[in-house]
Structure 1
Amino acid sequence: MTTTLARFQDDFVSAIFGPSGADSSVASLVDQPGFAVYRNTIFKGCVDALVANYPAIEVLVGTQWLEGAAFEYARAQPPGDPRLLLYGRSFPEFIGRLGQAHGLHYLTDVATLDRLWLEAHVANDERPLDPHALAALDPHTLGELRLRPCASTRWAWFASHPAFTLWKTNRERQTWSSDTPWTGEGALMTRPAHAVDAAPITQGACAFLTACEAGLTLEAAAGAALQTEPGIDIGATLATLVASDAFASLSTACPASSPSPH
């Protein structure tokens, strides 16, 4: 690609999302009526993608508010990937800042769960851990095993808000219960049978998964979970995670002698 062509392309993109650059040929295009149509089409695509990617937020704040926020985001953060299904990685933080002014302090958390659902949905397929294979291992060496979360597994802990309940209630268009305790919640996204499944998860379970993702042994991961949530039932937590297809099969997990890939 020539320097002149590259400069023209950069100026063309800049003209779409903001003031036109120094290239005179771009300036002449901007003055044409068709350019405004082209620009509006691109922005509409960005806005429509963000509204589709954050359905719980749309229910929470309304379509008009979300479209306005999405338009401002598109002006500030143009897509870096032609696949608009993946657009808006930093959108949760962006609308969180906007929501602060309206007292919606939980917007970032709820939007993060919309994003995690999307990431779980589009992640690569991977064979999950077979519970029978895990049960067949020598229990005396189980603590040295390293399990890796599946590519489609996502989790997060939200200390300040009942983020999972807020997200699930709005995404599924349910009625919010006024007696819902306003306490921190966690969420786990997995993809059994090629469909995303979302479930609540404890802070200790989140710490356990994070430790496994870092390549730690099950013994070390259990220690991290207990430090985060004293009294957690490690056996029940592991059983729940395995049953949820949170971990990759043993054939792709990290063997005890291997260094952490993270």
Structure 2
Amino acid sequence: MKLGTFQAGLAAALLDLDAKVELASQPAFAVYRNTVMKGCVDALEANYPSVARLVGSDWFRAAAAVHVAARPPQDGRMLTYGAAFADFLAGFEPAGDLPYLAGVARLDRSWTQAHTAADADAIDGAWLAGLSPEALGNVRVAPHPAARWHWFPDAPIYTIWQRNRSASDSTDEIEWQGEGALLTRPRDAVIWREASLADCAFLDACARGMSLADAAVAAVTAQADADIADLLAGLLRAGALVVAPSTE
């Protein structure tokens, strides 16, 4: 048997309980298979702690095992494993009465992305303040490489997520309304805060390479009562913006 054929068969048998290969019938192989499956499930539980806290470890690990069997790791870096887990939960029938669960998973994933993103120097507000009005309107800024933002129109996903991410014991009632979230890492640690619809529209526009003036228009179009000065100040405090790379 060629090495490549053996390796492919081994990989298939490890996560396919019904695999019809000779190797899978060997008693010792079951121990190895269980160890691999446990490692994958452990990685998902570590990468999605807010989801695990919401549903409990037993429910989470049962769901994770189904996901692992369908989407095994393609990369040895288990910190990044689970890119499709939120989409999996969105279509997972046992999670049908937890419509917010996929959104919480998306924020857990965003935390990982922010944590592993490239470093960059966030914009100093003093630099923007020193620009002339004309230059300020034409300047292009971009989201920090670690910035991740989401708008959830139908549920308070951010509040649910941050309470579980920080293991809060708060019993305050959650107002059921749309919310946004911004996560970034301007320095060593990932930080997060609630984001408005205008914040998300502004960041979307900056990510598309629009000027500061056009991004402001996009924000006000999305949320008519947006205060652009406050919005920009908040994003600068969060370290969510960098100078856009030159297109010349």
TM-score range, shorter chain: over 0.9
Q: Distance in 2 between matches of 1:75 and 1:131?
A: 48
RMSD of the TM alignment (CA)? 1.8
Match in the other structure for 1:5: 3
Q: Is the 8 A contact 1:99 1:105 kept in 2?
A: no
Q: Is the 8 A contact 2:120 2:145 kept in 1?
A: yes
2:74 pairs with 1:70: no
1:1-262 equivalences under 5 Å are 4-18=2-16, 19-20=18-19, 27-98=21-92, 101-177=95-171, 179-248=173-242, 250=243, 253-255=244-246, 258=247
1:99: how far off?
6.0
Q: What amino acid is aligned across from residue 87 of structure 1 in structure 2? A: Y
1:177: how far off?
4.0
Gaps of 5+ in 2: none
1:34: how far off?
2.0
SS of the equivalent of 1:188 reads: strand
**Which deviates more from structure 2 when the two are superposed, residues 46-55 or residues 165-174?**
165-174
Identical columns (%): 42
Match in the other structure for 1:24: none
Q: How many residues align?
A: 247
Q: Distance in 2 between matches of 1:95 and 1:16?
A: 23
Runs of 4+ in 1 over 4 A off after TM superposition: 99-102
Gaps of 5+ in 1: 22-26
Give the direction of change, closer, same or farther, for the CA distance of 1:100–1:144 in structure 2 (3 Å limit): farther
TM-score with structure 2 length normalisation?
Answer: 0.93
1:131: how far off?
1.5
SS of the equivalent of 1:110 reads: helix
1:183: how far off?
0.2
1:179: how far off?
3.2
